[in-house]
Structure 1
Amino acid sequence: MKIIYSKYLPVKGFRAINLFGIIFARKEQPELSRQIINHELIHTRQMLELLVIGFYVWYITEWVIKWIIYKDRLLAYRNIGFEREAFDNDANLDYLKYRRRYGFAGYVL
């Protein structure tokens, strides 16, 4: 997994973002922990399952719907099914070894 440290990506307030399987991390932040890297690896697996473009279409659509529901963009972000799966399992560094295909589906809704 390639990690690029940048002063532009992700936006301030976030430590890392996974774009097409490449992790971008804030340059001024400390080195990414294994937990954060695992979180982003979970997103990579989700992307592959949905052929990348499907992941982004679903991600953005779900975020917009939840932003409307919660009226809070950060709360909406934390409640996207992809994020819920990643946050719930990022501390388990073996998660991807045992994860079922389309594991995020259990976190939608």
Structure 2
Amino acid sequence: MRYWPVIWRSLPANAMAIFPFMLFKDPGQKTDALLINHEKIHFHQQLELLILPFYILYTINYLINLYKYRNHDKAYFNISFEKEAYANELDMNYLKNRRLYSWFKYL
């Protein structure tokens, strides 16, 4: 999947996928295969939800988790989209076999 890499030094995270852009905090991250695979998983999630609904569900999931855990890190790492991406980022072939809406099983 093609994407446009963008360096944004004040990015609040190491990297971020906002289809079709992949934002990186540091130029060296543009060659980090693990990080790129993680962000490409997010691209697939965004596309299957037609982009805008992804961001709405992501935000709702985060806010529910923030209320539940009262902690930003716990809320972030328990977002179903992040759970799928972190669980599969080491598998460089994951996206070849990924089923639609795979994030749903991480709810």
Using the size of structure 2 for normalisation, the TM-score is 0.92
> In structure 2, what is the equivalent of residue 82 of structure 1?
81
> In structure 1, what is the equivalent of residue 9 of structure 2?
7
Distance 2:96 2:28 in 1: 27
> In structure 1, what is the equivalent of residue 56 of structure 2?
57
More helix by share: 2
Whether 2:33 is the aligned partner of 1:31: answer: no
Structure 2 gap ranges (5+):
none
Distance 1:107 1:53 in 2: 20
Following TM superposition, the consecutive aligned residue runs of length 4 or more in structure 1 with deviations greater than 3 angstroms are none
Structure 1 gap ranges (5+):
none
Q: Percent identity?
A: 34
Distance 2:61 2:50 in 1: 17
Q: CA deviation at 1:81?
A: 0.3
Distance 1:99 1:36 in 2: 18
